[in-house]
A and B are shown apart, each in its own frame.
Chain A
Amino acid sequence: MDWLQIFSNSASSILSPATMAYALAALGLAVHFGFAGLLNMGIAGFMALGAYGYAISILTFGFPWWGGVLVGMGAAAVFALILGIPTLRLRGDYLAIVTIAAAEVVRLLFLTTAFDPVTGSADGLSGYHTSFRASNPIPAGTYGFGPWTFNAVDWWVRILGIVALALAVLVVWRLMASPWGRVLKGIREDEDAVRSLGKNVFQYKMQALVLGGVIAAVGGIVYALPSAVSPGVYVTSLTFFVYTALLLGGAATVFGPLIGSLIFWVLQTLLSNVLPAMVAAGVLPFMSQIQASTLRFILVGIALMLLVIFRPQGILGNKKELTFVK
């Protein structure tokens, strides 16, 4: 086994756009689930809207890349409004059912051949990079050191990803430290009590749904920035991966989603390198290399179960602040 290569790949994933995309999506989910108590199981749908909104507005309507970003965010905001008006009056578990269905509807709309010229159906979308790459101020060449050596385009993607993440963290952190955040946490605890104190609970829940949805959409855009948009990415299991990252870091924290996504992706990369290598080296004689790379998803599932049972508050969370089972 080439341990050096394995560790290099794993370390490289710390700065990968996928990690940043997950961190953004998990942060959006933290606003929904951790702070407002909205059990949103459709975060993949918000990410898909961000990614497709970005790609379609560039490819079909000739928008500049930043226009595409705004369209992606706007699409998620509109989706949150449409989803929220009928469903935010529902109790937690019903909201989960509705959101998971809504996310599937979004994905299937992008997948169907009916809109093939616009959405690319099963092939997805690619080739929308011209405007984005033209805006790159970094001169061509490779920069960095060790596992973190990337070319100018890759750096531009990563820098914008970090800027987006930093902005989102700043906004969420300021909000949750304010009276607005206090009302939101109160709603998580008992919305009737907050209602009896004269707060418009529906409005707060809607604001939280839109805010979290827009942050998740930015995650979807960052995910799509380096290469392509593929409908196979925005499946329900993506929602569960984001939940795993969120719960790993701590659902009711601002920096937890960041730490959780980092650990999630470093471990994923490590396992996806180590397991096939172990099969090749004859350590796991009972499985093929393909089976070995699937094994990591089984391990993610087990990790999610163990987390919820034994450490529901995550790494950064306060045990008292959030317990999954009340």
Chain B
Amino acid sequence: MSNNSSARRPKSKATTTASQEPKAPSAADDTHVMPSKPVERAKSTGLHIGEAAPGVAKVDPIIVADGIRRTFGGLTAVDVEHLEIPRGAITALIGPNGAGKTTLFNLLTGFDKPDAGTWIFDGTSLSGVPAFKVSRMGQVRTFQLTKALGLLTVVENMKLGAKGQKGESFWQSLIPGIWRKQDEEIEERAMELLAKFKLDAKADDFAASLSGGQRKLLEMARALMSQPQLVMLDEPMAGVNPALTQSLLDKILDLKQEGMTVLFVEHDMHMVRHIADWVVVMAEGRVVAEGDPHTVMRDPAVIDAYLGAHQELDLGVVTGRYSADAADSTTDAAASTKVKASDLEAAGMAELEDTSK
């Protein structure tokens, strides 16, 4: 498992020199706090009441959605009968492309209006509430295509996230005396958060000069400036390099530790397995499965709809590009050697023909 290897790294570093291992400094950067922390933080369990099934009731739901439908012309993008998101846990929303995950995100955050349905956030109905009010209630989202405000500096981006700023009202903004002090406090908080996200050195640069991964970090940090109860992340890992992924995962786990609820859309199954306490699987607009990550990923319906039957195989080994010794540690190397590439291909083609009918 990747957790084991990252935990081992500090030990192995003692026997190698930095010049032999060019990646050592960054690896040390990411893991230098690891030994003092438990490697894998405890997952939240006991979130649901009764048997895990689509629409199962939760012990303490933060969002309860009922009968949400959204159609685009003839296409039903989202058709969710009942869905509850557990409070204080990390919930992953997975599913194939076009399953309606982002549309559901847009509906829950007020960026889109459903044709039918009601949903309650923290005891308040959010039907018909505009996006900015949803955000003010403590439900903040990020976007699949990162929206860093390119021609504002990084610290300005952050300060924009703070709620209840006196200087943001037209007339009060004309008198600096009213908002100067609050603005300084906000800047202080922004710098603390930036330091946590290792962006403090970039504070005065335009956000446009950041790399894709740094923009993801900035967007997340900016969302946290509003001190939300529920953070909704739309593909937080898309386009982020592996070294940064580890630190982003830790950030998300930190959010839970600080008492926030996290709902995220993600295609990276390792990440989902690693940090999610609960997984909701969508396909063709519906919730097809729910449960804790390990159970859900063994669910035949989920494998069929999304994961595919061969997720444990290392394609490099199957196609003979390298030997079983070099296989990725998260895959089943022994099984990979037994499968013929041509069989896989034939099965895939048959499946494609099946779905196109």
Is B340 part of the contact surface with A, judged by Cβ < 8 Å? Answer: no
Within 8 Å by CB of A196, from B109, B157, B174, B176, lies B109
Is A217 part of the contact surface with B, judged by Cβ < 8 Å? Answer: no
Per-residue 0/1 for A161-184: is the Cβ within 8 Å of any B Cβ (1 yes, 0 no)?
000000000010011011111110
What separation, in Å, do the CA atoms of A273 and B157 have in the docked complex? Answer: 49
Q: Is the CB of A198 within 8 A of B206?
A: no
What separation, in Å, do the CA atoms of A195 and B235 have in the docked complex? Answer: 19
Q: Which of A143-192 contact B (CB under 8 A)?
A: 171, 174-175, 177-183, 185-186, 188-190, 192
Residues of B within 8 A of A179 (CB): 159, 165-168, 173, 179, 183
Interface of A is mostly: helix
Stretch binding the partner chain, chosen from A71-79, A119-127, A199-207 = A199-207
Residues of B within 8 A of A91 (CB): none
The smallest C-beta distance from B251 to any residue of chain A, in angstroms, reads: 18
Within 8 Å by CB of B174, from A171, A188, A194, A322, lies A171
What separation, in Å, do the CA atoms of A197 and B168 have in the docked complex? Answer: 13
Is B135 part of the contact surface with A, judged by Cβ < 8 Å? Answer: yes
What separation, in Å, do the CA atoms of A312 and B76 have in the docked complex? Answer: 44
Residues of B within 8 A of A199 (CB): 132, 160, 168
Q: A189-B149, A196-B143 are in contact. Are A178 and B179 (CB under 8 A)?
A: yes
What separation, in Å, do the CA atoms of A200 and B130 have in the docked complex? Answer: 9
Q: Which residue of B lies closest to A326 (CB)?
A: B150
Q: A174-B174, A320-B208 are in contact. Are A186 and B183 (CB under 8 A)?
A: no
The smallest C-beta distance from B185 to any residue of chain A, in angstroms, reads: 12
Q: Is the CB of A189 within 8 A of B151?
A: yes
Q: Is the CB of A201 within 8 A of B132?
A: yes
Residues of B within 8 A of A175 (CB): 170, 173-174
Per-residue 0/1 for B225-249: is the Cβ within 8 Å of any A Cβ (1 yes, 0 no)?
1100000000000000000000000
Residues of A within 8 A of B30 (CB): none
Q: Which of B14-47 contact A (CB under 8 A)?
A: none
Q: A192-B143, A198-B136, A198-B226 are in contact. Are A180 and B169 (CB under 8 A)?
A: yes
Within 8 Å by CB of A207, from B151, B156, B166, B170, lies B170
Is A193 part of the contact surface with B, judged by Cβ < 8 Å? Answer: yes
Within 8 Å by CB of B160, from A178, A183, A200, A207, lies A183
Within 8 Å by CB of B131, from A180, A185, A188, A196, lies A196
Is B223 part of the contact surface with A, judged by Cβ < 8 Å? Answer: yes
Is B147 part of the contact surface with A, judged by Cβ < 8 Å? Answer: yes
What separation, in Å, do the CA atoms of A178 and B165 have in the docked complex? Answer: 11
Per-residue 0/1 for A51-73: is the Cβ within 8 Å of any B Cβ (1 yes, 0 no)?
00000000000000000000000
The smallest C-beta distance from A213 to any residue of chain B, in angstroms, reads: 14
Q: Is the CB of A192 within 8 A of B135?
A: no
The smallest C-beta distance from A278 to any residue of chain B, in angstroms, reads: 43
The smallest C-beta distance from B64 to any residue of chain A, in angstroms, reads: 22
The smallest C-beta distance from A44 to any residue of chain B, in angstroms, reads: 26
Q: Is the CB of B151 within 8 A of A182?
A: no
Residues of A within 8 A of B219 (CB): 193
Interface centre among A171, A182, A207 (most CB of B within 10 A): A182
Residues of A within 8 A of B109 (CB): 196
The smallest C-beta distance from B128 to any residue of chain A, in angstroms, reads: 15
The smallest C-beta distance from B138 to any residue of chain A, in angstroms, reads: 9
The smallest C-beta distance from A37 to any residue of chain B, in angstroms, reads: 10
The smallest C-beta distance from A324 to any residue of chain B, in angstroms, reads: 13
What separation, in Å, do the CA atoms of A196 and B151 have in the docked complex? Answer: 18
Q: Is the CB of B143 within 8 A of A189?
A: no
Per-residue 0/1 for B100-114: is the Cβ within 8 Å of any A Cβ (1 yes, 0 no)?
000000000101000
Interface centre among A188, A189, A321 (most CB of B within 10 A): A189
Q: Is the CB of A186 within 8 A of B208?
A: no
Q: Which residue of A lies closest to B170 (CB)?
A: A207
Is B82 part of the contact surface with A, judged by Cβ < 8 Å? Answer: no
Within 8 Å by CB of B135, from A178, A190, A198, lies A198
Is B163 part of the contact surface with A, judged by Cβ < 8 Å? Answer: yes
Interface centre among B149, B156, B157, B167 (most CB of A within 10 A): B149
Q: Is the CB of A186 within 8 A of B174?
A: no
What separation, in Å, do the CA atoms of A73 and B151 have in the docked complex? Answer: 32
Residues of B within 8 A of A192 (CB): 111, 143, 147
Is B296 part of the contact surface with A, judged by Cβ < 8 Å? Answer: no
What separation, in Å, do the CA atoms of A111 and B234 have in the docked complex? Answer: 54
Q: Is the CB of B143 within 8 A of A186?
A: no
The smallest C-beta distance from A296 to any residue of chain B, in angstroms, reads: 34
Q: Is the CB of A193 within 8 A of B149?
A: yes
What separation, in Å, do the CA atoms of A171 and B174 have in the docked complex? Answer: 7
Q: Is the CB of A174 within 8 A of B173?
A: yes
Binding site for A on B (CB under 8 A): 109, 111, 130-133, 135-136, 140-143, 147-152, 156-157, 159-161, 163, 165-170, 173-174, 176, 179, 183, 206, 208, 219, 222-223, 225-226
Taking A197-B223, A322-B151 as known contacts, 12 extra A-B pairs with beta carbons closer than 8 A to each other, sorted by chain A number, are A174-B174, A174-B176, A177-B176, A180-B167, A180-B168, A180-B170, A188-B151, A189-B151, A192-B143, A194-B160, A198-B135, A199-B160
A sample of 26 cross-chain residue pairs with beta-carbon separation below 8 angstroms, ordered by A number, consists of A178-B179, A179-B165, A179-B167, A179-B183, A182-B156, A182-B160, A183-B160, A183-B168, A185-B152, A186-B160, A188-B151, A190-B147, A193-B219, A194-B160, A195-B135, A196-B109, A196-B111, A196-B147, A197-B140, A197-B222, A198-B163, A198-B226, A199-B132, A199-B168, A200-B132, A320-B151
